Amino acid sequence: MIPTKLLRSSTLRLSIIHMAAFGLSVLVLLGFIYTSTAGFMERQTDETINAEIQGLAEQYSQLGLTGLIRVIKSRVAKDKAGSSVYLLTDWKFNPLAGNLADWPKFKDTGSGWFDATLEDTENFEPRRVRMRYFLLPGNFHLIVGRDVSERIKVERLIMDALIWGLGITVVLGGLGGLLTSRWTLKRIDVINKASREIMRGELNRRIPTRGAGDEFDRLAENLNAMLDQISKLMDGVKQVSNNIAHDLRGPLNRIRSGLEMSLTRPVDDPEHYRAVLRQTISEIDNLLMTFNALLTIAQAESGTRRQDFTTVDLTSLAADVAELYEPLAEEKGLAFSVALAPDVTIPGNRHLLSQTLANLLDNAVKYTPDGGGITVTLTATPNGPELAVADTGPGIPAEYRDLVLERFARLESSRNTPGSGLGLSLVAAAAGLHQAALRLEDNHPGLRVTLAFPRPRA
SS3 assignment for the chain = CCCHHHHHHHHHHHHHHHHHHHHHHHHHHHHHHHHHHHHHHHHHHHHHHHHHHHHHHHHHHHHHHHHHHHHHHHHHHHCCCCCEEEEEECCCCCEEEECCCCCCCCCCCCCCEEEEEEEECCCCEEEEEEEEEEEECCCEEEEEEEECHHHHHHHHHHHHHHHHHHHHHHHHHHHHHHHHHHHHHHHHHHHHHHHHHHHCCCCCCCCCCCCCCCHHHHHHHHHHHHHHHHHHHHHHHHHHHHHHHHHHHHHHHHHHHHHHHHHHCCCCCHHHHHHHHHHHHHHHHHHHHHHHHHHHHHHHHHCHHHHHCEEEEHHHHHHHHHHHHHHHHHHCCCEEEEEECCCCEEEECHHHHHHHHHHHHHHHHHHCCCCCEEEEEEEEECCEEEEEEEECCCCCCHHHCCHHHCCCCCCHHHCCCCCCCCHHHHHHHHHHHCCCEEEEEECCCCEEEEEECCCCCC
* Sign of the C-alpha dihedral computed for residues 20, 23, 25 and 31 taken in this order: negative
d(CA 293, CA 175): 62
Instruction: pLDDT band for 1, please (50, 70, 90 cuts).
Output: very low
Task: Give the whole-number percent of the chain exceeding pLDDT 90.
Answer: 12
d(CA 21, CA 27): 10
pLDDT computed for residue 7 by the predictor: 46
Mean pLDDT of the chain: 80
Compute the average pLDDT of residues 368-386.
Answer: 91
Among 306-310, 357-361, 365-369, the minimum mean pLDDT is found in 306-310
pLDDT computed for residue 315 by the predictor: 92
* pLDDT tens per residue, range 243-266: 666 667 777 777 787 777 777 777
Instruction: pLDDT band for 174, please (50, 70, 90 cuts).
Output: confident
Say yes or no to pLDDT of 374 above 90.
Answer: yes
Instruction: pLDDT band for 6, please (50, 70, 90 cuts).
Output: very low
- Tell me which range, 71-75, 98-102, 214-218, is most confidently predicted by mean pLDDT: 71-75
Instruction: pLDDT band for 411, please (50, 70, 90 cuts).
Output: low
* pLDDT tens per residue, range 393-409: 888 888 877 777 776 66
pLDDT computed for residue 236 by the predictor: 65
Amino acid at 301: E
